[in-house]
Amino acid sequence: MASDLAFSIVCVWSFVSPIVGMPPFLSSRAQLLNDDSSYATGSNVELKGKEWAVNDLLMMLKLEEISEGLKTSLYPPAVHFFQTKASIDKSGVFEIIRIMPKGAILHVHDDSLVDLSWLIRNVTYRPGCYMCFTRKRGNVIFKFHEKEPAADEECDWKLVKTERSNYVDADEFDNMLENNISLIVEDPTNFYKNQYDVWSYFTDFFQSFRSLFSYSDVMQDAYYEGLRQFHEDGAQFVEIRSALPPVYDLDGTTYDEEYTLGKLEEANIMFLDDYSDSMGSKVIYSRTNLLMRNYFYVYLCHCRDKDRVTMKSKIELAMTFYQKYPDFVSGFDIVKHENLYNPLLFYWEELQMPSNTGVDLPYFFHASETNWQGSSADENLFDAILLNAKRIGHAYGAVKHPVLLNELKKKDIPIEISPISGQVLKHFYDLRNHPASHMLSHGYPVVVSSDNRAAWGASPASHDFYELFMGIASVKADLRLLKQLAMDSIR
């Protein structure tokens, strides 16, 4: 109790401004603390009316949780999300964050937009849904078909309805499917040996998710439900990265990217009709990086010209979509594991094509989602800035490059932070060590997102906001930070 009280007093005392008659040392200390905190994100935000009462309650609960974490060494942001989610869900701070408006969530992928429980308990109950456990990896994938598909080298297809009926309990069967797809395990630190190991399972997750999401009768429903879940969690707008995967019908007919885009736009219109208080969504057309490269450094070579030609065609398609669907398509991104696949430099000529032809196609690049400073993945940051990216995803290496930090602030380029994603994918463990802590303390533009939240069972936005507020931000960060983040995301 005494240590709790002392900790709280120290925190409160740190907010004190210099006053007349204060001893010189304490006055200088207070001035130094105030000067330092004046740079932090949210430091210039004004709270009004009842916001002060909310802030008092929020900070009381925050300090209580921090104090408890000091005693138990089980402070949630310092523990893997899989092992601490249950305690976060009971947190008073989380409850306040859960019900607050969060602005725009700007880094979300379509193949994890809606939670797994909805997919399993809704979509797999639909007629014509078949499943198999792949021979190579044992991960479950699905296919909708008019009649039982023939076995192939990867699968022996079984009707989901029949397989479920063979279980004593349907819920047990559904839980089995969900556990097979999800990345959640009891001991994630030891189960996933390294980044490449967890990314391998992550790839399986995408395969399973897409095999449900890409069926034409599902895609619109899943997109709508995903938007509804984000809206329920306090998001006013969602920007979704999508490769616009081929959509197929029950008879096996497949459709192109524009058909997929049209289905998503129709779902967005239906959602806006039902939720007039929402700003809806937009799509960032995201091309998957195609070919793996040599470890770390790669230079342009004729052996990969085919890859560049394909990328050129996708950028041209992005330009077409951006001009044809200006109210729904935001721009273009390239996605894949940055350590393993071609860097932005590989496509520098193709990526300059829009500006060279008079099309202002916005870029929203993933860049420096890596721990390797000085690698080509890290140097994607330089190219993202030179290519005039409007926002940058993850950017873990930004704090290691002082010139780039100045460019981010000067050009007002926000970094999209997804705290739980970085932890699950083993870029860091203790979120108090997240590089974004430097950015928040220096007032660099940051927006909070949830990336692939369905893969690890997180809420659409609230869990990531909690982890940032309680782990990445300062102990003294209060409601002003949360308010600033929401306003910045909309801006």
H or E stretch at 145: none
Q: Looking at residue 341, what is its pLDDT?
A: 81
Give the pLDDT band of residue 462 (cuts 50, 70, 90).
very high
Task: Tell me what the pLDDT averaged over the chain comes to.
Answer: 91
Number of H helices, E strands in the chain: 21, 13
Mean pLDDT of 399-416: 95
Q: Looking at residue 16, what is its pLDDT?
A: 55
Q: Is pLDDT above 50 for 298?
A: no
Mean pLDDT of 94-103: 97
Q: Looking at residue 17, what is its pLDDT?
A: 64
Q: Is pLDDT above 50 for 6?
A: no
Q: Is pLDDT above 70 for 437?
A: yes
| Tokens coding 133 | 């456990």
Give the pLDDT band of residue 72 (cuts 50, 70, 90).
confident
Q: Are strands 140-144 and 129-133 parallel, antiparallel or unpaired?
A: antiparallel
Give the pLDDT band of residue 5 (cuts 50, 70, 90).
very low
Q: Looking at residue 22, what is its pLDDT?
A: 85
Question: What residue segments make up the domains of the chain, in order of their start?
Answer: 1-38, 103-114+197-490, 119-191
- Strands in 329-335's sheet, in edge-to-edge order, are 103-109, 235-242, 281-288, 329-335
CB-based contacts of 110: which residues, under 8 Å, 6+ apart? 213, 223, 226, 240, 241, 242, 243, 264, 283
Q: Is pLDDT above 60 for 295?
A: no
Question: CA-based Rg of the chain, rounded to a whole angstrom?
Answer: 24
| Tokens coding 42 | 């949210």
Pick one of 3.50.50.60, 3.20.20.240, 3.20.20.140, 2.102.10.10 as the CATH number of 103-114+197-490.
3.20.20.140
Q: How many Å apart are CA 468 and CA 461, to the nearest integer? A: 11
Q: Looking at residue 337, what is its pLDDT?
A: 82
Q: How many Å apart are CA 96 and CA 53, to the nearest integer? A: 12
Q: How many Å apart are CA 226 and CA 459, to the nearest integer? A: 11
Q: Is pLDDT above 50 for 435?
A: yes
Q: How many Å apart are CA 22 and CA 31, to the nearest integer? A: 11
For 127-145, letters b (16+ CB in 10 Å) and e give ebbbbbeeeeeebbbbbbb
Query: Helices marked H in 280-342 — which ranges?
Result: 305-324
Question: CA 189, 195, 198, 200: dihedral to nearest 10 degrees?
Answer: -160
Mean pLDDT of 392-415: 95
Q: How many Å apart are CA 176 and CA 174, to the nearest integer? A: 5
Give the pLDDT band of residue 136 (cuts 50, 70, 90).
confident
441 closest CA partner among 10, 90, 43, 18: 43
Q: Is pLDDT above 90 for 433?
A: yes
Residues acting as catalytic residues? 369, 394
Give the pLDDT band of residue 9 (cuts 50, 70, 90).
very low
Q: How many Å apart are CA 72 and CA 57, to the nearest integer? A: 23
Q: Looking at residue 301, what is its pLDDT?
A: 36
